[in-house]
Chain A
Amino acid sequence: MSDAPVIEVRGLTRAFGARRAVDGIDFALETGDCLALFGPNGAGKTTLLRMLAGLLKPTSGTARIGGVTLPGGAAVRAAVGIISHEHMLYDALTARENVEFTARLYGVRDPRDAALRALERMRMLDRADTLVRALSRGLKQRVSIARAMVHGPQVVLLDEPFTGLDAAGAAALTAMLCELKRDGAALILVTHNLSEGLELATHAAIMRDGRFVRYEPCAMLDAVEYAVSYRELVIRGA
């Protein structure tokens, strides 16, 4: 990685037919930054994350990770971890096998240990040898988080990661994200929960119709005013 911002997005646009799901997004994040991304369903948040993960090609604009323009190569993909709506797990494998498989794909040294450590951080060690199909939705989400973090990503893309987690799971995830920030990772956290997002964020954005209708550093942000603005922009659709 170079001295460039960890994530740099310029005019990023993705159209599906005539509809622009993401429409000219610009922002940059440095090491240890966390962007909390709010917005109604269909605002384009997931599409933005999928482009940054290299799962979707932009129609126009550029996204750079560590100074490398996406889609980039294996090194760029190895620096990114993504947690999505779907768990990206294999039902017929155990929690450990799923995480270990990912660790091996990313070339992590001692993949078995790394998988067990990642599961331990998500308080899943006692279920490590349980088949994923036998886990509840919340426990699957914990395994999915362990899978996304097992290679120690420098960029973490989280699409509603708290969905389905109980208090213990949410606490474990928050602790893990704080640790990642401390270690210099840049995070993008998509959530519908303002307090959850703002607790971790250094920057906040509200997205609607593919655009950022608000974007600012959290240091300049008045939480009460932000909540009122969020309600107006998202819930009332002003």
Chain B
Amino acid sequence: MEPSLFSSALLIARKDLAIEFRTRTAFFSAVVFAVLAMVIFFFAWDPTSVAAIDLAPGVLWVIFTFAGLLGLQRSFNMEQADRAIDGLLASPAPREAIYLGKALANLVFVGAVEAVTILGVALFYNMPFGGRALALAGLAFLAAVGLVAVGTLFSAMAVNTRLAELLLPVLSLPFFLPIVMPAAQATAKLLAGRPIAEAAGWWKVLIAFDIVFVVACTLAFPFTLEE
């Protein structure tokens, strides 16, 4: 009996995470990038003209976006080496399961990078996330879903091209905007201590784009694999 869509997706995600856990190359690259970016932002910051609370949301989302791209890049590179992707495509696993499995592994990756980044920003900018930590984690998760949905699709499209490393950000960043914009706005409200209801509109926009991107990218993915 062939495995279902979701069990195939879980298998693929578990395999990707096992490889990442064993090699840790992408995670360390992303964390090093995140820390370096925090340091650069910190030393470029003039606390007398911009308050930490105004700067932190921007710093967080710039780092989430670019550190996430490092992980997404690696997602299909590991399948291209030795054409392991052919093994997946020849298997009874639905094409959509390959996408969902990859996206799920990427979500864990981006989530881990986000966790490190949130801690780093809290330390560097002395941000008392305390009571808002759960809401911020929820926001980061929702944004990660959208970023990963789009990034996984474009990673599959870009991997067969000669300029894959350039193409992925060029393709992805315009589609990241509808995710990063409401997420950054909602983060700013959260960090300013405003009630969550005040940013409800931005949360709704974020959730709507998540749904649109996950559905559209899952349906589009099988066509990116056609030769």
Residues of A within 8 A of B (CB): 53-57, 74-75, 77-78, 80, 82, 84, 86-93, 97, 101-102, 104-107, 147
Contacts and interface: CB of A to CB of B under 8 A. Distances in A.
Contacts of B227: 55-57
A31 to B, nearest CB: 21
B8 interface: yes
Contacts of A87: 82
Given A55-B90, A102-B91, A105-B8, A78 B2 contact: yes
A132 to B, nearest CB: 8
A47 to B, nearest CB: 10
B87 A88 contact: yes
A91 B227 CA distance: 25
A57 B84 CA distance: 19
A97 B18 contact: yes
A232 to B, nearest CB: 33
Contacts, number: 78
Contacts of B3: 104-105, 107
A75 B226 contact: no
Contacts of A101: 11, 15
29 contacts: A54-B89, A55-B89, A55-B90, A55-B227, A56-B227, A74-B93, A78-B2, A78-B91, A78-B92, A82-B90, A86-B83, A86-B86, A87-B82, A88-B83, A89-B84, A89-B87, A90-B19, A90-B78, A91-B82, A92-B18, A92-B78, A93-B15, A101-B15, A104-B11, A105-B3, A105-B92, A106-B92, A107-B2, A107-B92
A82 B90 CA distance: 8
By secondary structure, the B interface counts as: helix
A28 to B, nearest CB: 22
B23 A92 contact: yes
Contact of B88 (A86, A104, A105): A105
Which 3 residue pairs across A and B have the least CB separation, nearest first? A74-B92, A88-B87, A86-B83
B82 A86 contact: yes
Contacts of B163: none
A57 B227 CA distance: 8
B84 A90 contact: yes
B121 to A, nearest CB: 31
Contacts of A86: 82-83, 86
A105 B84 contact: no
Interface string B5-38: 0001001000100110011000000000000000
A153 to B, nearest CB: 10
